[in-house]
Structures are given as C-alpha cells and as structure tokens.
Amino acid sequence: MKYLLAIAVTALLTTQYAFAFSEKDVATLRSTNACVRCKLSGADLKGADLSGADLRRANLRDADLKDANLAGANLDGADLRRADLEKANLTGASLVKVKAAGADLEKADLSRANLNGADLRNSDLEETIFAGASLVGANLGGADFKRSDLRGADLSRASALRVNLERANLAGATLDNANLTLGDLDRTDFSGASLRATNLSDTRIKRTNFSGANMEGVILTSAVLRVTDLSGANLSAAVGLKAEQLEKACGNSATVLPEGLTISPCQ
C-alpha cells in the first residue's frame, strides 16, 4: 500500500511540475518578447502578440496559444507537445526540430515556416496552411492534414507513416524520399509535385490527382489506385507497380510507365 501511495504521489508531483510555469518568465516574455529556455508549460498566452519572439528551446508544453501571433518567431527546439495553437499565426516562423507531438494546429497559418526535423506526430493539422513551408526530415506519423494547404511545401525525407492527407493540396510540393506508407491520400492534389523514390506502399489512393507529377522510382507496392489521374506523370522505374493497380486509374500519352505497363486515357 505504501508503495502504491508513493507512486501516486510521485505521479501527482510530476504532473504538477509538467504544468508549472514561471510567472517571472511569462512577465519577461511579455515585456521583452524574448525568453530562451523559459518555463511556460501550461501558460495562458491565448491571443498574445508574440511576433518575432525569441522562444528557442522554451517549454510550452500544454500551453494555450490559440489565436496567438507568432509570425517570424524563433521556436527552434521548443517543446510544444499538446499545445493549443489553433488559428495561430506562424507565418515565416522558425520551428526547427520543434517537439509538437499531439499539438493542435488546426487552421493555423505556417506559410513559409521552417519545420525541418520537427516532430509533429499525431498532431491536428486539419485545414492548416503550410504553403511554401519546409518540413524536410520531419516526423509526421499519424498526423491529420485533412484539407490542409501544402502547395509548394518541401517534405523531402519526411517520415509520415499513417498520415492523413485526405483532400489536402500538395500541388508543386516536394516529397522526394518521403515515407507515406499506410497513408490516406483520398482526393489529394499532387499535381506537378515531385515524388521521386517516395514510399507509397499500402496507401489508400482514391480520386487522387498526380497529373504532371515526377514519380520516378516511386514505391507503390500494394497501393490502391482508384479513379486516380496520372496524366503526364513520370512513373519510370516505379517499384511494385502492377497492371491490376492501373485498371481503375487513367493517364494520357504523356504518362510514363515502366516497360510492359499500359493505362487507359482519362475521359
């Protein structure tokens, strides 16, 4: 019984510590717009104007940053796990190697933001704007990008196992060597995108637009291609692509397929 009580007390203290923030750090941030390595876990910063703020390696776990203005802010290495950033403005912000697993970024604006190496696993990114953003090497496993704007974004080498990209717009995006295994690509727009050596194994691809995409060396093992537009797409050296996968897809005379495969024209 004493052992169990000790565990309970330890857990309570740990939880309290995790949500503890320094009032002094909050005051410093508000007065100077800078607080490197600050303790801001659980802090109420809803709607705060933190544009250009220096928050490198700050602990913002579980913080409320809904509607906050963080345009141009530096959050490199910050801890944003489970933070509420819904509708926040993060345009041009730097979030290199940020820890944001489980964060709520629904409808936030991260246009031109730098998220290289960021951890966004299982985060809510529905209808979020990533136009022109860089997510090179980011961990996006289980993240929900439904209806998000990723036009021109760079997701090279991103790890995105079981990612949800339903109805997302990735026109002109770069996904070279990214891993989207078991992802949902229903009605996703990849027109003009680069998917060289991208792993799309076991992905759900339905009514997806790959027109004009560079898919050289793409891995399509066991991928489902239903009502998919491959007009003008380059699938030369595609791995795991079989004739039966193309039966419900369509293309045109500019579609490049591995030798021996054909595709019906789009109506």
The pLDDT, as a whole number, for residue 20 is 73
Low-confidence spans in the chain with pLDDT less than 70: 1-19
Report whether 181 contacts 200 (CB < 8 A): yes
- How far, in Å, CA of 211 to CA of 170, rounded? 12
The pLDDT, as a whole number, for residue 253 is 97
**Residue type present at position 105:** L
- For residue 38, the number of C-alpha atoms closer than 13 Å in the C-beta half-sphere is 27
Enter the tokens of residue 226: 């239903």
The pLDDT, as a whole number, for residue 19 is 53
The pLDDT, as a whole number, for residue 6 is 42
142-165 residue pLDDT tens: 999 999 999 999 999 999 999 999
